[in-house]
Amino acid sequence: MLKILLVEDDHLQCAYVRQALTSTLGADVTTKTCESEFRLDFESITAAPPDIAVLDIMLRWASPSRDAKPAPADSTPYHAGLRCAQMLSEDPRTQNVKIILYSVLPKEDFAPALLPKNAVYVVKEPDCQNLIDAVNDLQLAGAAG
């Protein structure tokens, strides 16, 4: 079964995308709702790496919480998804995970140097069809490789 990690901080969007990927592709979708959760659960992610990670680029660090860890000093929400992608790429256990960057912003809004070279960029659309196509393309490419 196709395993997808979805990192998305908008719960409505998250539920919608998850539902779309599950119903259309029959994928097993795991979700993370903020950067700190992704980092906190990173070891468990590496233990059972997904096939594909769909990462929203702009992510909050954490929901307000009395015991939340403060965000790293030099981090902002604007590139949180890119940091998550970097962690996946740099860890040998997850370096084969295919990455889809999923954002409402067009790709041109980001400096090329910021975007990981092996990632696929998909702009959020109302019906998720372009995301589904991108997942299928990656699967086909993986099968061919």
Partner 1 sequence: MENGGQSIIRLVQVAAVQHRLEGITEMLRVVSEQMGSWGTLLWLTAPGSNIQAGTGRLFVAAYWLPSDIRVWHELNFDSMVGAVLRSGEAAAIGCDDPRVAAPAPRFMRQSEARYICLAPMKMPDDAPGVLEVYRREDRPFSQADLDYLNQVSAVFPSLLGNLTDRVGFKMVDDVTEIINRSDQHQVGRLETFRKVANRVNATFSCLEVSIFLENPAEAEGVFRLAAFQRVWESPWTERAEYKRGEGATGYVCAGVDWVRIVDLAHYQEDQAWIQEKYPGLKWEDSLHIRDRARDYFKLDDPEACPPLSWMCAPIRTNRTTWGAIRCAGSTRDPFYFDVWQAKFLDGVAVRLGACWENYLGNLNKEQELHAWWALTRGFQAMNRSVQRRLNNKTWDETEFFREAMRLAHQVIPNTDNSDVRLVDGSELYTAAVYGRDWDQHPKSQKARYPLKPYGSTSSYLVAEKKGVLIYDDVKNAPHYKPNFEETRKIIEAPIEDGDNITGVLCIRSNSPRPFPENVKLIAGLLGQQLGLYHSLASQIRGLQDLERKNREMIETQGKTIGDVHHQVKSPIISSYRTAQNLIACGSFSGAQRQELERLRGLCSKVARVVRNMGVFSDLSAQRPIRLQRTLLLQHKLLQMLRESCADHEALTDPQRNIHFRLDEKGFDDVAGKERAGKVLVEADWALLEQCINNIMDNAAKYSYDGTVVRVWGGIQARGTELFMAVANEGLEVKPDEAPLLKQRGYRGRDAISATGEGSGIGLWIVDEIMQAHGGRLAITPTQNGITEVRLVFPITKGVEKLSDAQDLASRR
For residue 87, with 0-12 CB atoms within 10 Å meaning exposed, 13-18 middle and 19 or more buried, which class applies? middle
Residue the block writes with tokens 């092996």: 118
Cβ proximity to partner 1: between 4 and 34 the closer is 34
Smallest distance, partner 1 to C-beta of residue 142, A: 30
| Smallest gap from residue 61 Cβ to partner 1 (A) | 4
- For partner 1, the binding residues (CB under 8 A) are 9, 11-12, 33, 58-66, 68, 70-71, 76-78, 80
Of 62 and 135, nearer to partner 1 (C-beta) is 62
d(CA 102, CA 58) in angstroms, rounded, equals 9
Q: How far apart are CA 51 and CA 68, in angstroms?
A: 29
Asked if 122 and 143 touch (Cβ cutoff 8 Å), the reply is no
Cβ nearer to partner 1, comparing 78 with 96 = 78
- Closer to partner 1 at the Cβ: 25 or 57? 57
Q: Least Å distance between CB 38 and partner 1?
A: 13
What distances in angstroms separate CA 57 from CA 63, 65, 120, 141, one per listed residue? Answer: 17, 22, 12, 23
**Cβ of residue 56: shortest distance to partner 1, in angstroms?**
8
